[in-house]
Structure 1
Amino acid sequence: MSNGETKTDVILIGAGIMSATLGTILKELAPDWNITVFEKLGKAGEESSNEWNNAGTGHAALCELNYTPEKDDGSIDIAKAVKINEQFQVSKQFWSYLVKKNLIENPGEFIQPLPHMSLVHGEDNVNYLKKRFEALSENPLFEGMEFSDDPDKLKEWIPLIMKDRTSNEPIAATRIESGTDVNFGALTRKLFEHLEKQKVEINYRHHVEDIKRTENGAWEVKVHDMEGGKIEYITAKFVFIGAGGGSLHLLQKSGIPEGKGIGGFPVSGLFLVCNNPEVVEEHFAKVYGKAKVGAPPMSVPHLDTRFIDNKKTLLFGPFAGFSPKFLKTGSMLDLFTSVKIHNVFNMIAAGAKNFALTKYLIEQLMLSKEQRMEELREFIPTAKSEDWDIVVAGQRVQIISDNGALKFGTEVISARDGSIAALLGASPGASTAVSIMLEVIEKCFPQYVNEWEPKIKEMVPSYGMSLTANPELAQEIETDAVATLGLKDARTLQEA
């Protein structure tokens, strides 16, 4: 960038999966627009999008039990699960479009087929899982899901988990082969490589320090060139804040009314990673259990096969922790500097309402490695401490809404005139990035949506439609995604 003030059409703050997705969509819809990206770190996908900083699950609600709560009458509410599944189908359609157009290559480097399973213990939980299975099986998006409480069948599905299991406690699982493991770090890097070819200006080691509205309604961004030491200013008609945990501070600096009253609560994570190749080879699935009382949804225990750097590995976790940082590379003052007059009472209220979460985080912080191993042994009875190492995962900032409620989803906060938008929150996050960015486009560029709709439907054939209500289209889209993204039968992959 040059000294002084520069103008562009769009500014993207943060080089993670969200900015990568929005930038890629906009370049397809408006190829003549100038887009400028600012990233504090030295390359793309190094914070929340990095493969070691998230679970790598293609969240489609196939195995995540927190998306299917049990109602007071005992029935299962599958509405959220269906919504998340539909959103993930949108992501797969867009990725397939990019591959078919040769805009990105080698999809196997970022997505792999992998069975998704839910595993529960105890009679009540087994009954819940069976009801969940029956409810989801009626929806075409969950076609192929299986349920079993037969120990012999479970030994076929999850031999490592069932090996030397001596408890007589009832146990059951569901299994569906259409699940995926997604390396969002690799995908983010591929998208930014594509954007560079599209003449998008990407500025690494540039820290956005301030955002202000100009007299003509544009936004002026103050940027610190961390290598050159210069302060630079750039103006744009539209700004997207996709800086992970850093988004809250920048949203506050923008001063838009829609950001008033919102706070953030950081939660960190740890994983146990298996260092024994023989153990790694005994497991092939993502297996999700039930969260403990008071635990945030991001702390649902799961044992995951992962594909990172073209290598199969095995992770268990996450274990929750606490750090006042909003980013893994952030400041210990992040939480304290986010407290403002307009949100302090909401944050206090959130603390009072979530005592169980506070208690849970304290307990998690005090766990030794051996205590973490004991939790792993609920999944793998034969687990040995020497086979597992601890890895620090990413930071997530949970949203505290303007009524003091702690929210665990992903939310877009945008100005009324659509000139600026920020993404806050955590899971399912990256898996639903395409749906979320299409939402940003609808909110922030309503004057162009009719003009852009044919192109959007080319990229996402189901745009504006319910796949649940159109099972033939759902099957057609799934078949295309399997072929284009290389998602062959998971059992074939396992045997390869």
Structure 2
Amino acid sequence: MSSIQNKTDVILIGAGVMSATLGSLLKELAPEWDIKVFEKLASAGEESSNEWNNAGTGHAALCELNYTSEKSDGSVDISKAVKVNEQFQLSRQFWSYLVSRNLIRNPQDFIMPIPHMSFVEGEKNVAFLKKRLEALSGNPLFQGMEFSDDPKKLKEWIPLMMGGRPSEEPIAATKIDSGTDVNFGALTRMMFDHLKRKNVKMHYNHSVEDMKRTSDGSWELKVRNIDSGTVEHHTAKFVFIGGGGGSLPLLQKTGIPESKHIGGFPVSGLFLVCKNPEVVAQHHAKVYGKAKVGAPPMSVPHLDTRYIDNKKSLLFGPFAGFSPKFLKTGSNLDLIGSVKPNNVVTMLAAGVKEMALTKYLIQQVMLSNEKRMDELREFIPTAKSEDWDIVVAGQRVQVIKDTEAGKGTLQFGTEVVSAADGSVAALLGASPGASTAVHVMLEVFAKCFPQHMTAWEPKIKEMIPSYGVSLVDNPALFEEIHTSTAQTLGLSQKELVYS
């Protein structure tokens, strides 16, 4: 087999939304840099970013109850909700910039306005939801949120969920119209189409098999052309590992100290998809419930209106499952292969600490289709089994690392791991993930390109006007930005009601 040697400035591994975002930002900040992308599948956005492999929620903490925790004194901590919302606003601004410059077109193909709602049952949960609203109501990022425990009002908001519901159980919901449904697969493909026009070299059906340092501090990648079997060697000054669940094994191959004592635990997901158009037409919202006691944050049930391929769909889930694969297209040896001498104690400690998660996953794997329908009927009491099919969603690899909380701590969220010299960075973790892609890439820039940040700052502020500014502390700026991005992205002008 022949071997091909090439040099470039930047290599992006994985053709998902994270690499697409990083590449799109870099092409605005350093247009002269050469960029190559390697993806082992045949096209972009086919793993975690694919529209059928994630919930499609523009995560802004408008409805996700796991971002607002109840403290021991009974008050509600909204700090994480504010943080996630601010991060989503950065993404929304950058998408608006791309559309306004005609770098990507037809925003309705990737983002649609959709009310975001939280729905709870039982007196205790109703009281919590009311306190949550009170805590959020003074914050400009959450203005326009309504609360109701009136069955008549709820029937207006969520008629499908209210039909056939027993009247004796206390229920309540909050609703805010500024939510969005985001087709991250379509967005990813749009950004890569833009990058191809900017002479970014896309290499599909190419699998990165190894990485090693060169004498000048660059990285040499061993890449296999899956179609021809040819082995190629590509060298770059900076490498971003954005391969979803496949990022951890590649990070381990770098051998950098920062890659030690990190493990990953794969969790698969299933969704119920409604195939009855009459049922789909009766629901128009993303409605998030509350996770059951003992269940992990990624298990929050939600009933989602989705727009996929310009067609309205209705999904419910997720139901968790277990597979040793780190990607849907991965290997059953992925989990075992990720256990190394430097992380085996970390992984074992997590196994001991996370018995509740293990028990939960076993219960989820054992669920029959009718049991899944029973869980759906907590949202839609009249749901019929024949109206719903199962779709297998993407694999998520939750990060396990040693923290102040102890060895083998399971992390929920997204994390950037980078070398001390900034020559390589990897993205690990899951939700809120894609929604906060721009924030994550700004973090990559700060860690890996500190020498350029002063020169880049004016352009960053042009693309992301709130860069370096707290929108919570500048409500007038938030209103201005939110209104302008809504107009550019074709979102409803009724989104916000300012006091």
Check whether TM > 0.5: yes
Q: Deviations over 1:18-74 (max 9, x none)?
A: 000000000000000000000000000000000000000000000000000100111
Spell out the pairing of 1:335-374 with structure 2 (5 A cutoff).
335-374=335-374
The correspondence of residues 17-96 of structure 1 with structure 2, limited to 5 A, is: 17-96=17-96
Task: Tell me the C-alpha RMSD between the 2 structures.
Answer: 0.9
Q: How does 1:280-291 map to 2 (within 5 A)?
A: 280-291=280-291
1:177-216 alignment runs, 5 A limit? 177-216=177-216
Q: Give yes or no for the alignment of 1:481 onto 2:485.
A: yes
In structure 2, what is the Cα distance between the partners aligned to 1:271 and 1:90? Answer: 29
TM-superposed CA distance for 1:293, in Å, is 2.3
What is the aligned counterpart of 1:424 among 417, 421, 428?
428
**Structure 1 residues 316, 490: closer, same or farther in 2, change over 3 A?**
farther
* Aligned position for 1:173: 173
Q: Aligned to 2:450, which of 431, 446, 449? A: 446
Instruction: Give the whole-Å Cα distance in 2 for the aligned partners of 1:304 and 1:407.
Output: 26
Alignment of 1:291-306 (within 5 A): 291-306=291-306
Q: CA deviation at 1:442?
A: 1.0
Work out whether residues 487 and 493 of structure 2, in 8 Å CA contact, stay in contact via their aligned partners in 1: no
Partners of 1:294 and 1:249 lie apart in 2 by 30
Q: Counterpart of 1:134 in 2: which secondary structure?
A: helix
Count of paired positions: 490
Q: Could you tell me which residue of structure 2 aligns to residue 236 of structure 1?
A: 236
Structure 2 residue identity aligned to 1:136: L
Equivalent position amino acid for 1:140 in 2: P
Q: Does 1:466 align with 2:470?
A: yes
Instruction: State the partner residue of 1:494.
Output: none
Q: Retained in 1: the 8 A contact 2:94–2:463? A: yes
Query: 410, 415, 434: which one pairs with 2:414?
Result: 410
Q: Is the 8 A contact 1:409 1:426 kept in 2?
A: yes
Offset of residue 298 of structure 1: 1.8
Could you list the per-position Cα deviations for residues 400-453 of structure 1 after superposition, in whole angstroms to 9, with x for gaps in the alignment?
012310001000000011000000000000000001001101110000000000
Normalising by the residue count of structure 2, what TM-score does the alignment of the two structures yield?
0.97
What percentage of aligned pairs have identical amino acids?
74
CA offsets 1:119-142 (integer angstroms, 9 cap, x no match):
000011001100001101110000
Residues of 2 paired with 1:331 and 1:351: CA distance?
21
- Shift in Å at residue 490 of structure 1? 7.2
Q: Structure 1: which 5+ residue stretches go unaligned?
A: 492-496
Runs (5+) with no aligned partner, structure 2 = none
After the TM superposition, which segments of 4 or more aligned residues of structure 1 sit over 3 Å from their partners?
Answer: none
Q: 1:385 — aligned with what?
A: 385
Q: Secondary structure at the match of 1:401?
A: strand
Matched, 1:13 2:2: no
Q: Provide the rounded CA distance (Å) in 2 between the counterparts of 1:292 and 1:354.
A: 16
Partner Cα distance (1:406, 1:127) in 2: 30
Asked if the contact 1:397/1:425 (under 8 Å) is kept, the reply is yes
- Aligned residue runs from structure 1 range 232-271, under 5 A: 232-271=232-271
- SS of the aligned residue for 1:469 comes to coil
Q: Where does residue 327 of structure 2 map in the other structure?
A: 327
CA distance in 2 between partners of 1:382 and 1:34 (Å)? 56
Partners of 2:127 and 2:409 lie apart in 1 by: 31
Matched-pair contact (CA < 8 Å) for 1:114–1:490: no
The range that moved more, 135-144 or 159-168, is 159-168
What SS class does the counterpart of residue 394 from structure 1 fall into?
coil
1:189 to partner: Cα distance: 0.2
Q: Distance in 1 between matches of 2:299 and 2:269?
A: 8
Partner amino acid, structure 1, of 2:455: E
Q: Distance in 2 between matches of 1:47 and 1:336?
A: 21
Which residue identity does 1:159 align to in structure 2?
A: P
Task: Please give the secondary structure, in 1, of the residue aligned with 2:52.
Answer: coil
Aligned to 1:146: 146
Q: Does the 8 Å contact 1:91/1:431 carry over to 2?
A: yes
Contact 1:115 1:490 in 2 (8 A): no
User: What is the identity, as a one-letter code, of the residue corresponding to 2:369?
Assistant: K
**Counterpart in 2 of 1:103?**
103
Q: Aligned partners of 2:190 and 2:322: how far apart in 1? A: 32
Quote the Cα distance in structure 2 between the aligned partners of 1:267 and 1:310: 29
Distance 1:200 1:146 in 2: 46
Counterparts of 1:209 and 1:347, CA distance in 2: 24
Q: 1:354 Cα deviation (Å)?
A: 1.0
Contact preservation (8 Å) 2:20, 2:191: yes
Offset of 1:4 from its aligned partner? 2.6
Report how far residue 228 of structure 1 moved.
Answer: 1.5
| Distance in 2 between residues matched to 1:346 and 1:132, nearest whole Å | 36
Secondary structure class of the residue paired with 1:129: helix
> C-alpha separation between the residues in 2 aligned to 1:4 and 1:386?
54
Secondary structure of 2:76 counterpart: coil
The aligned amino acid for 1:150 is D
